[in-house]
Structure 1
Amino acid sequence: MSKFLFHLGKWAGSNSKKVILTFILLMAVLGGVIMNMGTAFTEDVSIPGTESEKALKVLEEEFTGGKQAGQAYIVMKAPPNESLNAEENKAVVTEMLAKIKEDPAVNSVAAPDKLANINPDKQIGYAVITYHSPAAEVSQASKELVEESLSILQDKGMQTGLGGTVEFEKTEAGGGPGEILGVSLAYVILALTFVSLLVAGMPILIALIGVGTGVLLILVGTNYFDIPSISLTLAAMLGLAVGIDYSLFIFSRFKQQLKKGYTVQESIAIANGTAGNAVVFAGITVIIALLGLMVVQIPFMTVMGVATAVVVLLSIIVAIVVVPAILGLMGHRMKPEKSNRLLVKVTRSDKKSGTNKWGSFVTKRPLIVSVVGIVALTVMMVPFFHLNLGLPDGGNKPYETAERQGYDLLTEAYGEGFHSTLVVIADPANEQNASPDKLAALSKKLNELDHVVKASPAMPNQKGELFLLSVTPEDGPNAPETKELVKEIRDLSDENNMSLMVTGATAVNIDVSDQIMGALPVFAVLIVVFAFVLMMVVFRSILVPLKAVLGFVLSIGATLGFTVFVVQDGHFLDLFGFPGSSAVLFLLPVLAIGILFGLSMDYEVFLVSRMREEYAHTGDAKKAVLAGLNENGTVVTAAGLIMIAVFSGFIFSHDPIIKQMGLTLAAGVLLDAFVVRLAIVPAVMTLMGKSAWYFPKWLDKLLPNFDIEGEAIMKEYDKPHSNRPIELKVLKESADF
C-alpha cells in the first residue's frame, strides 16, 4: 500500500490541475443531479419488530385507515383575568382559524371550545389543525402560514405556542454560525501550526472538497434509500473534522521532508507513502467503527453509519489524491525553515536531547501522571451508571421558539404527562372479554395504576374486534416512571386475559432506547476486541494494544459520564447553552463509541507508530516515548484541537439533538487526545519500558504486517542518491530550499 500511495502522490503532484479540475467537475455533476432530482429525507426512527411498532401498524390499519394525518396544535393563553372562552377571545380564535383554513393543505380546524380542552382555570387551551397529508409531508409554506397567524392572537394580548406532530423547528443540516465559528477556530490552529495564513487554509479547503462530495452523494441517495436528515449533520460534522486532520498529517510530513533537504516532488511522494498510508489505515478504522453500527440492528442507525462512512471514505480519497495535487501547486511556498509555534511553551524542542518540555515532564514522573489521569477519568465515569436514554422534545428547545412556548403552556395547563400520552390497543380475543363490563374494568384498572392521571373509556374499531384507550401519565416522556408504566400496562395482558399493546411516540422512543441499551454491551465488546487485534497487528505488541483499548474504555466512559453530568443532571447548562436538563439522546452512546473509537485509534496510530519506529532503530524504550511526543505530539495536539473546535461549533446549534452530539464528541476528543494519548499513554509506556514491545515470535509470523509507517519506502529511499530505486524529477524550485 505504501508504495502505491508513493506513486499516487508522485502522479497527483505532477498533474495538479487535472486532479483538482476532476473533483470540481464531479461536484458540479452531482449538484446538477440533485437540482434535477431533489431530495427526500425520511424521519422514521422506529424499529421494526418492537411491540410499539407492531401496535402502531394495528392502529393505522384498524383505527385511522392508514398513515395518521399531521396535526398542529396552536396553544393559547388568555390575557390575565380573562377567560379563553369569553366571546371576544373566541372571536379572535375564530378569525385566526379562518385564515389558516384557507390553506388547501388543511383538512379541518377545531377551536378549543369545540374540543372542550380548556383547562380548569379557563385560561389555556389549544386549537387543532388537521392536514390532508402526514406530518412529515406538510409543506414549509403551510407551516409559515400557521406561524404568521399567531400574531392575530398575540395582538390581542394572548400568549401563544405550537405543538402537535408537525415539526416547525427543523433539524439543522450544517452551515450555521456555530459551524462557521468551529471552522474559524480550526483555521487559527492551522495558522499557528504552519506559521502561514495561506497554508492554513489548504487543509480546510481540502476537507470541504471531501465533505462536499460526500454530502452531495448522500443527497442523491435520499432518493433511493430511507436516510434521516440528521445523517447529513453527523456526516458533515465528522467528515469536516477528519478531513482537516488527514490533510494536516500529510502536510506536516511534507514539511518534515522539506526540512531534511528533499525536493518538493520527493517530499510529496514520501509524505503520501508514509503519512498517507497512516491516513488510509486510520480512515478505514473510522469506517469500520461506523459500519459496526449494523450490530445494533436498528435500520435508521445503520443508514446513519453508512452515510457517514461514505463521507469519511471521500475524505480519505481526497486526502491522498487532492492533497498531493495542492502541494504540487503551492508546495514551494511552504518554507521549511519556519518553526511550529503551536503551544510553544509545551512543545518547544531541545535540539540536544531531541525532546520537549511535556515529554520530559511525563517521562520523569510517569507514575504520578498515570495515577492522576486514570483516577480523574474514573471519577468522571461515575454519572454514566445512572444514564437515562430518551429523545429530546419540545421542552428541550430554546425558550424563544414557538414550540418550546407551546410545550410550557401545555405543561402548565395539563401537566408533564400531556406530552407522554400512551395509546393502548386491547384485543379481547373472544366476545366474553369484549363485554362492556370487562372493558370498563380494564379502564378502571389502568386508572388505578401508579403515575396515571387518566385513562379513557375503551373505543371500538369499525369491526368491534379491537378497542382503543388513551392513557395520560403523570410524568414526562423520558421519565423513568413513564417507562415503568409502559411495562406495567403490557404486563396486564396476562392478568386480564386480553392482549394489550402500547404505542404512541412515547412508547416508540422507550422501545428504541431499550433496544439500544440492550445492544450497547455487545457493540462495545466488539469494538474493544477489534481495537485490540488491530493494534496488535499494527504495533507488533501485546501490552501496547491492551493499554490502547483500556485507555479508550476510560475515555469513552468519562465522556458519557460527563454528558450525563451536564445534560441529564443539569450541571453547567448555561455554560453550554442548554435550556434545561433532559434525557440523553438514545442514539448518542452507540454513536459516540463508534466515532470516538475511530478517532482515538487515529491518535494512537500517529503517536505510537513513531515510538515503535524509534524503538526499532535504537532499542531504547524511554527514548522512543520522547521521540513520539517530540515529533508527532504537536501534530496530535493540533489535530485534537481542530476536532474540538469543529465539534464545539455544533454546541451552538438550537437543535437539542445536535447540541448533545457536539458536546459529547468535543468532550470525547478532549479527554482521549489530551488526557489519554498525550499523558496516560506515554506515562504507562515509560513504566512498562522494553516489555511494552514484547511480541511472541510465533504470533509475529502468524499476523500480517501492514507497514503503516512506510518503513519499506524510507529504507530504500534513504540510501545514497545514486542507489535510489525510485527516480524522481528534481524541480528547479528545489534550489530555493
Structure 2
Amino acid sequence: MSRYLFALGQLVARRRWWVLAVWIVLLVGAICFAAGTGGKTNDNFTVPGTESQDAVSLLQQRMPTFSGAQMQVVFATPGLAKVTDQQVRAEIEQTMAGLQGLPQVAQVVDPFQAQAVSPDQRVALGTVQFSVSAGEVDADTLDGVDRIAGPAREAGLEVQFSGAVYPGFTADIPHTPEILGIVAAFVILLITFGAVVAAGLPIVTALVGVGIGLTGILGVAAFVDVPSAATSLALMLGLSCGIDYALFILSRHRHNIVLGMPAAESIPLAVGTAGSSVVFAAVTVIIALCGLTVAGIPFLTVMGLTAAGAVLVAMLVALTLLPALLGFAGDTVAKFISPPLHPGKAEEVARIAAYEPERTCGHAWGRFVTRFRIPLLVLGIAILAVVAIPATRMDLGLPSGATQAESSTARKAYDLVSRSFGPGFNGPLLVVTDLSHATGADAAQTLMGRLRQESNVAAVQPGGSGNGMLLIQVFPKTGPNDSATTDLVNRLRDDRDRIESGTGATYLVGGTTAANIDTSNRLAAALPVFLAVVVGLALLLLTIAFRTVLVPLSSIVGFMLSVFAALGAQVAVFQWGWGASLFHVAKAQTLSFLPIITLAIIFGLSSDYQIFVVSRIKEEHTRTADAIASVQNGVAHSARVVTAAALIMFGVFVAFTAVDNPIVKPLAFTLAVGVLFDAFIVRLTLVPAVMALIGNRMWYHPRWFARYIPDLDIEGAELERRFAHDAEVEVPQGITGVS
C-alpha cells in the first residue's frame, strides 16, 4: 500500500495546479448542486416493520387526511382570567378558525369542542392535523401558524406549540460551534508545529472537505429524507477527521524537512508512510458508520452513510489536496514563529524531536509507562470501569418536549400541559381502529369503554372517522418517556384479543409516542448485532494491518472500555443530572440511537489512534527488535501528534455541546468524553503498558499466519529504508532543552 500512496504523493505534488483546480471545481459543483436542488433536512422518522409504522400505512390507505403530523396549540391566560371568559374564548376560537384555513391543514379541533380545558380553566388545548408528514409541512404554513397566533398574544394570551411539527421545530443550528472548533484547532496546531503555514494547511483542507461533504448532503436531501442531526454529525466528523488526517501526514512531512530532506522527496514519502495509516483509519470509521444499516432504521442508515461520506471526502482531501498544497508551500512549513518571551523555542523543539527523540516529553512518558506498567494498567482500567458504571442503568428513549431547551415553545407547551392536564396529554397514543367488520353500531363505544378501563389511562377521545375507520386518542397518565407509558403500549398490544373481543373491530396502536417506543426497542435489539459486527471488523482490519492477533485484541478491549466509559458519563450527566447545570440540560432518557452511533464513531476513532501509535511502535520494533525500547521510541514519535489530534477532535465535539438541541448536545458530549478517554488513557497509556508487559510476544504469529495475511506495510518501513541516508545524520550543535 505504501508504494501506491508514494506514487500518488509524487503525482499530486508534481501536478499540484491540476489537483487544486479539480478540488475547486468539485467544491463549486457541490455548492451549485445543493443550491439547484434546494434540498433541506427533515425529521421524518420511520421504522418499517413496527406496529406504529403499520398504523401510518393503514391511515395512508384508508384515511390519508389523518396520516400526517399533528400539532398541539396550548393557550394559557395571565393573572386570574379564564379561557372560558367570553372575550378570551372568542380569541381562541378565532385563532383556531384561522389555522383551519392554512394550506396542508386537514382538521382543526377546537379546545371547547374537544372539552380540552384544564380544571382551573386557565389552559386550553387545541389540535391541528396536517395532511402531510412533519418534514413535508411547508415553511410558509408554519409561518402562517405563528402569524395567526399573533392577535391572541397581543390580547394577553400565552400561545405555545408542540407536537411532531410546529413553528421553529427545525431551528437552524448556529455556526458558532464550528467557528470555535476551528479556532481551537488552529491554536493547538500552532503550538504543535510552531509555524503558521503548517498550522493553517490542515484547517484549509478540512474546510474544503467539509464544504463538499455538507453541500453534497443537502443536495441529496432533495431526493431522500435526511435528518437534521445528520448534518451536525457529518460536520463534527468531517471537520475533526479532516484536520486529524492532514495533521498526521503534515507532521511526518515536517519531520522529514527538519531532517534536511528536500520537499520534493519528503511529500511522497509522508503520503506513503503516514498516508497508509490515514487510509486504514478512515476505512475503519467509514465501515463502522456504514454498519449502522444493520439496525434497519432509515433515518439511522442515512445518518451513518452521510457521515461516512464526509469522512471519505476528508480522507481523499488529505491524500491529494494536502500534498498539492505542500508542494506550493515548500519549506515554509518549517518556517517557525519566534515568540518574544521564547525566541527560537519552536525550532528548538522541532529539531530535538527530529534528532534526539529520547529527550522529548513523549519519550519521558513512554519510559514512565514502561516502568510502571502494572500499576498504570490497574489504575487506568479501574478509572474507566468506575466511570462506565452508570451505563448499566441506561434508559433509552427519543426526544420529547421535556428535553427541549427551556426557552423553546415546545418545552413551554410541555410544561403547561403537564401542570394543567397531566404529562400523558403531551404524548397521546393513536389507536387506529378498523370498523369495517364491526358486529354492531355500539362497537366503537364498547372499544373506547374498554380502553378507558385500562390502568394508567387518563382519558379516551375520538379523533376522527371515515371510510370505516375510527381514530381513538388514548391519553396516558404518565409522560411520553415514562416506563409506565411503554408498559401501557405493550399491554394494549398484548391484550388486543381481549379488548377487541365481541366487537368485530381491529386496531393498531400508533402515534408519535408509540413510534418512539418502537424505535427504541428496535435499536436495543440491533445493538448486540451491531457490536458483534464492529468487533469482527476490528479483528479483521487490525489483524491485516499489524499481522498479529494480540494487537487487535488489546485494541478491542480498550475500545470497549472507552465507549462504555463515555456512555456512563453521558448517563450520569444527561439522565441522572450530575453537573447538568454546567451544560444547561434537563434530566432525560438516553437517546435510543446514541449508544449505537457512539459505538460506531468511537470504534473508528479508537482504531485511528491505535494505528497511529502502534504503527510507530511496530516500526521501531522492526528496526531494533527491543520491545521496551520500541514502545518508548514509538510513543516518543507519536505522542505529540496524537495528543494534538485528540485535543482538536475533543475541542470540536465540546464546541457542539453549546448547541441547544436534544440530539446534538448529548451526542457531542459523549463523543468528546470518549475521544479523551480513548486517546489519553487507552492508546497512550494502557496499550503501551500492555505491549511493554507482553514484550516481543506481542508481535508473534505462526508461520502459516504469515502465508495467509498480506503484509500491507502500513508503517512504510520499505519506503523508509529506501530513503535512508547512507550515513547517519549528525545532531546539530547547540540543541538544548526538551519538548
Greater alpha carbon shift after TM alignment, 395-404 vs 282-291: 395-404
Q: Which runs of 5+ in 2 are unaligned?
A: 337-343, 728-739
The structure-2 alpha-carbon separation of the partners of 1:506 and 1:105, relative to structure 1 and needing over 3 Å to count, comes to closer
Task: Give deviations 1:302-322, integer Å, cap 9, x for gaps.
Answer: 222122111111111110101
The residue correspondences of 1:49-60 to structure 2 (distance < 5 A) are 49-60=49-60
Match of 1:661 among 644, 667, 675: 667
Secondary structure at the aligned position of 1:603 is classed as: helix
**How far, CA to CA, are the matches of 1:342 and 1:642 in structure 2?**
24
The residue correspondences of 1:191-202 to structure 2 (distance < 5 A) are 191-202=190-201
The equivalent residue for 1:730 is none
Greater alpha carbon shift after TM alignment, 383-392 vs 237-246: 383-392
- Decide whether the 8 Å contact of 1:421 with 1:472 is kept in 2: yes
- Decide whether the 8 Å contact of 1:78 with 1:157 is kept in 2: yes
**How far, CA to CA, are the matches of 2:86 and 2:318 in structure 1?**
68
Query: Offset of 1:689 from its aligned partner?
Result: 1.8
The equivalent residue for 2:340 is none
- The question of 1:490 aligning with 2:493 is answered yes
**How far, CA to CA, are the matches of 1:178 and 1:191 in structure 2?**
20
**How far, CA to CA, are the matches of 1:439 and 1:130 in structure 2?**
22
Counterpart amino acid of 2:298? P
The structure-2 alpha-carbon separation of the partners of 1:445 and 1:228, relative to structure 1 and needing over 3 Å to count, comes to same
Secondary structure at the aligned position of 2:160 is classed as: strand
The equivalent residue for 1:17 is 17
**How far, CA to CA, are the matches of 1:102 and 1:510 in structure 2?**
33
- The question of 1:480 aligning with 2:483 is answered yes
Query: Offset of 1:187 from its aligned partner?
Result: 1.4
- The question of 1:403 aligning with 2:402 is answered no
The equivalent residue for 1:735 is none
- Decide whether the 8 Å contact of 1:47 with 1:298 is kept in 2: yes
The equivalent residue for 1:705 is 711
The residue correspondences of 1:210-359 to structure 2 (distance < 5 A) are 210-335=209-334, 356-359=363-366
The residue correspondences of 1:56-205 to structure 2 (distance < 5 A) are 56-62=56-62, 64-66=63-65, 68-94=67-93, 96=95, 111-130=110-129, 133-171=132-170, 176-205=175-204
- Decide whether the 8 Å contact of 2:198 with 2:250 is kept in 1: no
The structure-2 alpha-carbon separation of the partners of 1:349 and 1:115, relative to structure 1 and needing over 3 Å to count, comes to farther
- Decide whether the 8 Å contact of 1:211 with 1:240 is kept in 2: yes
Greater alpha carbon shift after TM alignment, 260-269 vs 420-429: 420-429
- Decide whether the 8 Å contact of 1:259 with 1:336 is kept in 2: no
Query: Offset of 1:293 from its aligned partner?
Result: 1.2
- The question of 1:451 aligning with 2:451 is answered no
Counterpart amino acid of 2:481? N
Give the share of equivalent positions with the same residue, in percent: 36
Query: Offset of 1:26 from its aligned partner?
Result: 1.7
Secondary structure at the aligned position of 2:495 is classed as: helix
The equivalent residue for 2:681 is 675
The equivalent residue for 2:731 is none
The structure-2 alpha-carbon separation of the partners of 1:25 and 1:400, relative to structure 1 and needing over 3 Å to count, comes to same
The structure-2 alpha-carbon separation of the partners of 1:640 and 1:263, relative to structure 1 and needing over 3 Å to count, comes to same
Counterpart amino acid of 1:474? K
Query: Offset of 1:234 from its aligned partner?
Result: 1.4
- Decide whether the 8 Å contact of 1:621 with 1:689 is kept in 2: yes
Secondary structure at the aligned position of 1:469 is classed as: strand
**How far, CA to CA, are the matches of 1:159 and 1:169 in structure 2?**
16
The structure-2 alpha-carbon separation of the partners of 1:193 and 1:550, relative to structure 1 and needing over 3 Å to count, comes to same
The equivalent residue for 1:556 is 563
Secondary structure at the aligned position of 1:652 is classed as: coil
Secondary structure at the aligned position of 2:43 is classed as: coil
**How far, CA to CA, are the matches of 1:558 and 1:42 in structure 2?**
32
The structure-2 alpha-carbon separation of the partners of 1:99 and 1:42, relative to structure 1 and needing over 3 Å to count, comes to closer
- The question of 1:462 aligning with 2:462 is answered no
Query: Offset of 1:646 from its aligned partner?
Result: 0.7
The structure-2 alpha-carbon separation of the partners of 1:247 and 1:174, relative to structure 1 and needing over 3 Å to count, comes to farther
- The question of 1:514 aligning with 2:521 is answered yes
Counterpart amino acid of 2:138? S
The equivalent residue for 1:618 is 624
Query: Offset of 1:539 from its aligned partner?
Result: 1.7
The structure-2 alpha-carbon separation of the partners of 1:603 and 1:381, relative to structure 1 and needing over 3 Å to count, comes to same
- Decide whether the 8 Å contact of 2:451 with 2:499 is kept in 1: no
The equivalent residue for 1:634 is 640
Match of 1:684 among 682, 690, 702: 690
Secondary structure at the aligned position of 1:632 is classed as: helix
Counterpart amino acid of 2:713? D
**How far, CA to CA, are the matches of 2:584 and 2:219 in structure 1?**
34
Match of 1:594 among 600, 618, 641: 600
**How far, CA to CA, are the matches of 2:475 and 2:199 in structure 1?**
57
**How far, CA to CA, are the matches of 2:522 and 2:130 in structure 1?**
32
Greater alpha carbon shift after TM alignment, 323-332 vs 218-227: 218-227
**How far, CA to CA, are the matches of 2:500 and 2:348 in structure 1?**
71
The equivalent residue for 2:31 is 31
- Decide whether the 8 Å contact of 2:534 with 2:603 is kept in 1: yes
CA RMSD of aligned residues (A): 2.7
The structure-2 alpha-carbon separation of the partners of 1:341 and 1:408, relative to structure 1 and needing over 3 Å to count, comes to farther
The structure-2 alpha-carbon separation of the partners of 1:150 and 1:67, relative to structure 1 and needing over 3 Å to count, comes to closer
**How far, CA to CA, are the matches of 2:28 and 2:416 in structure 1?**
48
The structure-2 alpha-carbon separation of the partners of 1:710 and 1:352, relative to structure 1 and needing over 3 Å to count, comes to closer
- Decide whether the 8 Å contact of 2:195 with 2:334 is kept in 1: no
**How far, CA to CA, are the matches of 2:554 and 2:5 in structure 1?**
30
Query: Offset of 1:494 from its aligned partner?
Result: 3.5
Greater alpha carbon shift after TM alignment, 664-673 vs 66-75: 66-75
Secondary structure at the aligned position of 2:484 is classed as: helix
Aligned length: 713
The equivalent residue for 1:718 is 724
Match of 2:401 among 394, 402, 412: 394
The equivalent residue for 2:737 is none
TM-score by length of 1: 0.91
Greater alpha carbon shift after TM alignment, 110-119 vs 250-259: 110-119
Counterpart amino acid of 2:419? E
The equivalent residue for 1:528 is 535
Query: Offset of 1:108 from its aligned partner?
Result: 6.1
Greater alpha carbon shift after TM alignment, 384-393 vs 491-500: 491-500
Q: Which runs of 5+ in 1 are unaligned?
A: 722-737
**How far, CA to CA, are the matches of 2:533 and 2:51 in structure 1?**
27
- Decide whether the 8 Å contact of 2:277 with 2:611 is kept in 1: yes
Secondary structure at the aligned position of 1:121 is classed as: coil
Secondary structure at the aligned position of 2:112 is classed as: helix
- Decide whether the 8 Å contact of 1:189 with 1:342 is kept in 2: no
- The question of 1:412 aligning with 2:411 is answered no
TM-score by length of 2: 0.90
Query: Offset of 1:541 from its aligned partner?
Result: 2.1
The structure-2 alpha-carbon separation of the partners of 1:318 and 1:78, relative to structure 1 and needing over 3 Å to count, comes to same
**How far, CA to CA, are the matches of 1:177 and 1:630 in structure 2?**
35
The structure-2 alpha-carbon separation of the partners of 1:120 and 1:180, relative to structure 1 and needing over 3 Å to count, comes to same
Counterpart amino acid of 2:180? L
The equivalent residue for 1:576 is 583
Query: Offset of 1:7 from its aligned partner?
Result: 2.0
**How far, CA to CA, are the matches of 1:115 and 1:440 in structure 2?**
17
- Decide whether the 8 Å contact of 2:75 with 2:92 is kept in 1: no
The structure-2 alpha-carbon separation of the partners of 1:604 and 1:339, relative to structure 1 and needing over 3 Å to count, comes to farther
Task: Give deviations 1:159-202, integer Å, cap 9, x for gaps.
Answer: 33112332333446655212221221111111111112343221
Counterpart amino acid of 2:625? G
The structure-2 alpha-carbon separation of the partners of 1:341 and 1:129, relative to structure 1 and needing over 3 Å to count, comes to farther
Query: Offset of 1:533 from its aligned partner?
Result: 2.4
Greater alpha carbon shift after TM alignment, 138-147 vs 194-203: 138-147
**How far, CA to CA, are the matches of 1:714 and 1:339 in structure 2?**
28
